[in-house]
Amino acid sequence: MRKLRKLGTAMALATFIGAGMIMFGTTVHAQGSDHSVAVRCALLQRAIDAATAAFGADSGLVAFLQGQYATYCAQ
């Protein structure tokens, strides 16, 4: 019975610490790391390529995505 109480206490403490880390921890996006910007730009480029293949180069979606890429990824 004593081992079960110790296990219950350990589980409660681990849950409390884990919840605190999730609630008050910073995210990669909030830190603005270079890796997250590179990933976001790569995904935008893939979206541009897919929209161009599906709708053509002169569609409004392609123009919008290229504008977003120019704003956030052009250096």
Residue 43: CB partners within 8 Å, gap ≥ 6?
Answer: none
Whether pTM exceeds 0.85: no
The domain in which residue 68 lies consists of 2-72
Q: Which residue has the higher pLDDT, 65 or 19?
A: 65
Total domains in the fold of the chain = 1
- Given a cut of 80, is residue 12 above it in pLDDT? no
User: What are the CA-CA distances from residue 10 to residues 15, 17, 22, 44, 60 (Å)?
Assistant: 9, 11, 18, 44, 56
Confidence of residue 26 (pLDDT cuts 50, 70, 90): low
Q: Which DSSP symbol is given to 33? A: -
Q: Which residue has the higher pLDDT, 45 or 22?
A: 45
Please report the pLDDT score of residue 36 as a whole number. Answer: 72
Please report the pLDDT score of residue 41 as a whole number. Answer: 85
Chain length of the chain: 75
